[in-house]
A and B are shown apart, each in its own frame.
Chain A
Amino acid sequence: MIEQQRETEIFNRLKKVDDPELPSVSIYDLGMVHEVTIDDNAHVAVTLIPTFAGCPALDIIERDVKNAIEEIEWVKSCDVTFSFDEKWSTDDITEEGKQQLKKHGVSPPPENYQPGEEWSVDCPYCGSPYTSMENVFGPTACRSILYCRSCRNPFEAMKPVVSYTAS
């Protein structure tokens, strides 16, 4: 039972570690947490799934996760590793993650995206589907810049990334 509680505690903490490039959206809600193990010596190992290859935020995330977990009283130490065998997809973003993204003017990725096809998303501010793509490459590898023709606001969207072979 205590094990269960400890695990829950770890996950609750991971839900509070934000992506440095998407403040207020946790790495948990982005679907980056692959595995958490706790051994008998209260050593915690967290395995994360990297988002985009070459994303410069990964080192910051690694540090933030380690610090956050080691702040928990009973934790002796925490190791963070990235698993390159797992493939992150934007389908892994949780419902909570999508809501948080919208709240901050970033549209969640479109559903039913086909790799290589054009895509569009609704405006995160007014919900209008009348949007246009300004630059598929935004300020970071994971985001694009769009424009809403209804409320005339520029906004960002998470770029959809899905597996080829799974589809």
Chain B
Amino acid sequence: MSLVETAEQAKQDAAYKEALVEVLYQLADDDFIISYRGSEWLGLAPHIEEDVAFSSITQNTMGHAMLFYQLLEELGEGDADALAHERISNERRNGTYFEIKNGSGTYLEEPQYDWALAVVRNYLYEAFKKVKLEEALKSSYAPLRNTADKVLMEQPYHLGHWKTWITQLQDSSQEAKERIQSRLDEAWKQIGDAFELGPKADDILAKEILSSSETLKQRWLDSVKETLTYVPNGDLASELGNGRAKEHTDQLDQALATLSEVYNSDREAVW
């Protein structure tokens, strides 16, 4: 496969374009939903420095989502802001583990959010994002390589942040250790679909848009095993469904409803 330099060039090969947009939706929707869940922590993080750090990561990650939505816009998928805010849940391709609620309650009513979930999920996500983007640096689609490179320049700060948290908590008090371990057990049952490439997987590989699901999974496991002192037994599962095939929980609907309420209230606002 030779390098596809522009959106115009990609559009000339319908099969190529269809496979390409799947990958871009996955990248965009993952960043979008994880930063939405991150934004719900605003003002609720364990201390003020963490609040500053977490919201900075969240804002930056939303910026990354927008970069991928812009690539979709160039390919004729529609306006980037609309792609981010107006698509319903069964059009979304994010991994299901990234969409589940932060804990019980809602942001406005008695948020009983779980910091162990935040730490485990964000750490596992950033480790995954790094692997996927590093593989995207080899993509046949030049604008994707380029964007992956830019995002990877900023992302080490995010990964570093969550790695510090999990490293400290997994070796601190017995309670912290247990809570991290049980969130890891849960993650192992729910994160499986994140590694899938969706219905166009064959074309994605044949056209060298991205590396295989097995490569992503293996590289991710190798990387998290270097940090985690406890690694759950057994294979990764997708108990919540397959987000890459647009299957989602009603928790995503809830998130999108809240989000579009804010978005619809002021469509001209700058996000």
Contacts and interface: CB of A to CB of B under 8 A. Distances in A.
Interface of A: 52-56, 59, 84-85, 87, 89, 115-116, 134-141, 159, 161-165
A143 to B, nearest CB: 10
Given A52-B60, A53-B151, A164-B153, A139 B143 contact: no
B111 interface: no
Contacts of A162: 153
A84 B147 contact: yes
B105 to A, nearest CB: 26
A87 B146 contact: yes
Main secondary structure, interface of A, reads: loop
Interface in B122-163: 137, 143, 146-147, 149-154, 156-157, 159-161
27 contacts: A52-B60, A52-B154, A53-B63, A53-B64, A53-B67, A54-B59, A54-B60, A54-B62, A54-B64, A55-B63, A59-B270, A84-B70, A87-B146, A87-B149, A115-B156, A116-B159, A135-B49, A136-B160, A137-B52, A137-B157, A137-B161, A138-B52, A140-B56, A141-B59, A141-B60, A163-B153, A164-B149
Interface residues of B, number: 30
B67 A84 contact: yes
A137 B147 contact: no
A53 B154 contact: yes
Interface of B: 49, 52-53, 56-57, 59-64, 66-67, 70, 137, 143, 146-147, 149-154, 156-157, 159-161, 270
Nearest to B49: A135
A135 B52 contact: yes
Nearest to A116: B156
Nearest to B153: A161
The 5 closest A-B pairs by CB, nearest first: A54-B63, A53-B63, A137-B53, A116-B156, A137-B56
